[in-house]
Amino acid sequence: MDKRRINGPEISVKPIEKKSTQPKNNKDDGIRKNNRSVDNIRPIFIKPNVIKKANGSAYYEAENIKIICGVYGPRSSKRSMVSDEGTIYCEFKFAPFSCNKRCGYIRNAQEREYSLIIQQAFLPAIRLNLYPKSSIDIYVTVLENDGTTACLAAAITCISIALTDAGIQMYDLVAAASATCIKGNICLDPDASEENDTNSKFMLSYMPSLKQVTHVLCTGKMEAEQSIEAIGICIDACNSIKTVMDHCLINSH
Amino acid sequence: MALISPSEKDFITKGIEADMRNDGRSRIAYRDFTIETGIVSQASGSCRLRLSKTDVLIGVKVEIGDIISNTTSDNNNEQEQDIVNNQNESDKGRIVCSVECSPSASRDFEGKGANDINNELSQIMNRVLNGPQGGIDLKSLCIIPGAQCWIIYVDVLVLDYDGNLLDTIFLATRAALQNTRIPKTEIQDIGNGQLEFDISDDIEDAEKIKGWEDVPVTVSLNKIGQKYIVDATAMEELCTDTKIIIAVNRNGEICAMQKSLYGSLNPSLLTEMIRTAKDIGKVLIKNLDTTLEHEQVMASRANNKKFGFFI
Amino acid sequence: MEIIFNTPSAPKETENIENKQNFHIVTPGEQITSDPAFMRGHGTYTQEDVVMASVAGVVERVNKLISVKPLRTRYNAEIGDVVVGRITEVAQKRWKVDINGKQNAILLLSSVNLPGGVQRRKTELDELNMKSFFSEGDLIGAEVQAFFHDGASSLHTRNLKYGKLRNGSLVVVPPALVRRCKSHFYTLPCGVDLILGLNGYIFVSKHPDKKSEELSPEELYSNKNEEITFYQRSAIARVCNCIKALAKHYMYINDSIIIYAYEASLPYKISDLLHDDICEVIVEKAKLQIEMQQTL
């Protein structure tokens, strides 16, 4: 019971949805819904410097995914023991209205795990040795969720822009792409309905100029060769996302 | 806080490059395991697995619970809710995993640090085991569709630590699930479309979990310098900059993959690691199964001595 | 590749050692003697003129001194002990060192050799640069110089054979297995240097190319290892495994038993020394050789 807020009724039930009859795919690919091709990524819009109070921020939108991110730092952290390097602290949260099912205000285990994943994805990219005894705090809120793995990838991309907006020194921008395996084909940027249908989800974050993978997350059964193929496809996707990021950063100046 | 000196780190890194680790092993050599199943009488299945000093005890309990589908909104049990968010079928049981690292195992397992480690390990386990990649046939756990199902609670207790915790946990989980027996249920139709079920008390009647042979095991690969090793000791883990955890099942399929720690790696190295993990995973499963069979044969003989914690 | 799963097996019956020596084992609260002539040592207390044991262990009697040596305990420092420690903290004018004892030991800035000569005066710059000498995690060899009133030991590294340890790896054994001897620094015939810390930390390293007297001040505190060949590395790994095998079988650790165990292990691959059965074989052979040498 969250005593700080006025809660809704204790038992609330989602309205019963009528099962919609999905229109059969009748296009050439026949693999994905909405007539998307196998390597289609939803068009990305990123705008930096949307939260004036934060040192850096960014807003990311891709069709039905909307993410906002604020970065504070480097600021001196009470948490730091005497250390030669800075630390990254990340808080990832789905807004209560963002998913199909209402999420609570308190971070659940999955959100805490995603926070840890984002932290690990950025540790190789940020020049932490230039910020001893300081902490870089990253706060991400997902305003609209259309595919959890795609959201995670989008969040990583969004945070890269926010960090650049904050002027934090990095070795390279981090781009991230998500994929899933539908009928034996690796399909990029799955949305929520595609994610629910399949069991395999793949997320990769990559530094395009340095050609280094900073994080990989894969769930669901895949052949070893398929996962290697997925890595290659995601890396190509990350390279194209990088051009979008560069474009957005240069345009904003 | 575990500490290591820069010269020790350099010594270990150069040793790994030369394929001669501190204890003489090659880069892809494992230490010896010691395994024993069926040592906790109150649990439906149990296993204790030791890898040098790393000591892990798994207890599996099967209990009857409600099938939670997407139409109920009940934030009380957040862990189960997270699992359900990934499933929306009303005829499946579920597996709930939780890891607890005992503070007596290591200084790092005290206080707040322990929460992070416990959460990370529990999440990895839930990610691997819940779903078709976890091997277990969740549909077979359903008793009354839409109402009641078997819930498998896997509780991991880490008693002692000397590196390579995750591999030990997954191997022991596989052994514990092989050891688990679910009581037989009889469903009766009492009219009005209502169903009731009875649980058989007979121990002989209990059945194995369907699909335990497909439960995957993990192979943790630690990248140190420009090479990678398996089965790192605690010291070697302090030198690791990137760790990749790959879950492999007995058919060589990849069931999960996750990177952790603070480094980054080349895509070609990642590809090589996946291929190595696949080979090693298959060997691990084969040898584990052989030992479990051998243990069952010994148990069926007259002098069935369980050592438990005596050794 | 070979991955072995063992099932636990019953331990072997230990041979009867009653006839070899008379061990008097006591438990806490047990009466040792009521003779007032005896002085009490460690591990005992008096209650109404009766000497009682306060730990579980073996009674040791040296002339008129009675003490009880516990079977397993944290390391108890004595003045003059050679120890290997790990720096845990850098504080004002001192370092805190973990020596596997009840408390962390202290290494004062005035107890280390400052680069530039033995008689150099300590300056303020030295205090600020303490991290450049020893920083957190470093391994050092040191000697116990004195005790503080709270029982923490004070170390010094004012000899050239002490100081920062490199080119090797650490093996941890129970402190009771390392006994006090004349020297704790050995060079084995296989080219491996050994520092037997009385606190159970044993450092096995490559025999250095340069003697410690020839080291320049920068090199004294450097973290850089020398070039180590594959052969030297395997020798170090083999010695480490032998020491771990001896510790598993509760044998006292000194240079001669390590040499015998090393020779006994030569027919096997280094990674095979991790298996329990081969450990037993090597330890048995080393034990036999030690006993033969003692009877000579």
Q: Which of C11, C86, C225 sits opposite B11 (nearest CB)?
A: C225
* Record: contact A211-B266, CB cut-off 8 A: yes
Chain B positions touching C84 (Cβ under 8 A) are none
Spatial neighbors of C120 by CB under 8 A, at least 6 apart, are: C114
The domain segmentation of chain A, as residue ranges, is: 38-252
Q: Which of B3, B5, B14 sits opposite C228 (nearest CB)?
A: B14
The pLDDT-based confidence of B200 (bands split at 50, 70, 90) is confident
Task: State how far residue B219 is from chain A, nearest Cα, in angstroms.
Answer: 14
* Record: contact B283-C1, CB cut-off 8 A: yes
What is the residue-averaged pLDDT of chain C? 86
Residue B293 has pLDDT above 70, yes or no: yes
User: Are C242 and C258 a contacting pair, CB within 8 Å?
Assistant: yes
* Record: contact B3-C225, CB cut-off 8 A: no
* Record: contact A218-B258, CB cut-off 8 A: yes
Three-state secondary structure of A82-147: CCCCCEEEEEEEECCCCCCCCCCCCCCHHHHHHHHHHHHHHCCCECHHHCCCEEEEEEEEEEECCC
Distance separating alpha carbons of residues A51 and B97, to the nearest angstrom: 39
Report the share of chain B in percent with pLDDT over 70: 91
C-alpha R_g of chain C? 22
Mean pLDDT on A6-12? 78
* Record: contact B23-C7, CB cut-off 8 A: no
The pLDDT-based confidence of B78 (bands split at 50, 70, 90) is very low
* Record: contact B133-A110, CB cut-off 8 A: no
Helix (H) or strand (E) holding A150: helix A148-165
Q: Which of C3, C137, C167 sits opposite B11 (nearest CB)?
A: C167
Which chains neighbour C (Cβ–Cβ under 8 Å, 3 or more pairs)? B
Chain C positions touching B278 (Cβ under 8 A) are none
* Record: contact C168-B5, CB cut-off 8 A: no
A53-71 pLDDT tens trace: 899 999 999 988 999 999 9
Which chains neighbour B (Cβ–Cβ under 8 Å, 3 or more pairs)? A, C
Domain B1-30+216-301, CATH number (from 3.30.230.70, 3.30.70.940, 3.30.420.40, 3.40.50.300) = 3.30.230.70
Is C188 touching B (CB cutoff 8 A)? no
User: Closest chain B residue to C268 measured between Cα atoms?
Assistant: B24
Residue B120 has pLDDT above 90, yes or no: no
The pLDDT-based confidence of A21 (bands split at 50, 70, 90) is low
- pLDDT at position A245 is 92
* Record: contact A220-B119, CB cut-off 8 A: no
Chain B positions touching A101 (Cβ under 8 A) are 70, 73, 85
Residue B300 has pLDDT above 90, yes or no: no
The pLDDT-based confidence of C140 (bands split at 50, 70, 90) is very high
Q: Which of B78, B82, B127 sits opposite A219 (nearest CB)?
A: B127
ipTM score of complex: 0.88
Mean pLDDT on A116-131? 91
C192, two tokens: 């491996």
C51-102 pLDDT tens trace: 888 888 888 888 888 888 887 788 888 899 999 999 998 888 889 999 988 8
Mean pLDDT on C215-223? 77
Is B115 touching A (CB cutoff 8 A)? no
> Which among C1, C2, C4, C5 is the top mutation candidate for probing chain B, defined by the most B β-carbons within 10 Å of its own β-carbon?
C5
Residue A20 has pLDDT above 80, yes or no: no
* Record: contact A124-B263, CB cut-off 8 A: yes
> Which among B3, B4, B7, B107 is the top mutation candidate for probing chain C, defined by the most C β-carbons within 10 Å of its own β-carbon?
B7
B80-117 pLDDT tens trace: 545 544 454 678 888 999 999 888 887 777 777 788 88
Q: For B34-211, CATH number?
A: 3.30.230.70
Interface of C with B in 154-183 (CB under 8 A): 164-170
- pLDDT at position A27 is 42
Which chains neighbour A (Cβ–Cβ under 8 Å, 3 or more pairs)? B
Chain B positions touching A206 (Cβ under 8 A) are 267
Q: Which of C223, C241, C275 sits opposite B32 (nearest CB)?
A: C275
Chain C positions touching B20 (Cβ under 8 A) are 230, 233-234, 237, 270
- pLDDT at position C1 is 73
User: Are A118 and A165 a contacting pair, CB within 8 Å?
Assistant: no
| Lowest-pLDDT range of C44-53, C152-161, C242-251 | C44-53
User: Closest chain B residue to C276 measured between Cα atoms?
Assistant: B32
A202-221 pLDDT tens trace: 999 999 999 999 999 998 88
What is the residue-averaged pLDDT of chain A? 86
Is B264 touching A (CB cutoff 8 A)? yes
The domain segmentation of chain B, as residue ranges, is: 1-30+216-301, 34-211
Helix (H) or strand (E) holding B48: strand B45-51
Mean pLDDT on C122-131? 70
Residue C118 has pLDDT above 70, yes or no: no
Q: Which of B5, B287, B311 sits opposite C5 (nearest CB)?
A: B287
Residue B242 has pLDDT above 60, yes or no: yes
Chain B positions touching C275 (Cβ under 8 A) are 32
More confident residue, C10 or C253: C253
What backbone torsions phi and psi does residue B236 show, to the nearest 5 degrees?
-65, -35
* Record: contact B4-C137, CB cut-off 8 A: yes
Q: Is the dihedral of CA B123, B129, B130, B133 positive or negative?
A: positive
User: Closest chain C residue to B25 measured between Cα atoms?
Assistant: C271
Residue A186 has pLDDT above 90, yes or no: no
Chain B positions touching A220 (Cβ under 8 A) are 131-133, 255-256
Pairs across B and C, CB distance < 8 A: 123
Q: Which of B116, B254, B278 sits opposite A218 (nearest CB)?
A: B254
* Record: contact C3-B287, CB cut-off 8 A: yes
The pLDDT-based confidence of A26 (bands split at 50, 70, 90) is very low
Is B270 touching A (CB cutoff 8 A)? yes
Architecture of domain C25-70: Beta Barrel (2.40)
- pLDDT at position C119 is 54
Q: For A38-252, CATH number?
A: 3.30.230.70
Spatial neighbors of C173 by CB under 8 A, at least 6 apart, are: C200, C202, C243, C244, C246, C247, C253
* Record: contact C86-B288, CB cut-off 8 A: no
What is the residue-averaged pLDDT of chain B? 85
Q: Which residue type sits at B64?
A: I
> Which among C1, C2, C3, C165 is the top mutation candidate for probing chain B, defined by the most B β-carbons within 10 Å of its own β-carbon?
C3
- pLDDT at position B304 is 67
Chain A positions touching B85 (Cβ under 8 A) are 101, 110
| Lowest-pLDDT range of A21-30, A107-116, B225-234, C54-63 | A21-30
B170-195 pLDDT tens trace: 999 999 999 898 888 888 877 777 77
Chain B positions touching A223 (Cβ under 8 A) are 252-254
Residue C46 has pLDDT above 90, yes or no: no
* Record: contact B33-C238, CB cut-off 8 A: no
Is B3 touching A (CB cutoff 8 A)? no
Chain C positions touching B280 (Cβ under 8 A) are 1, 3
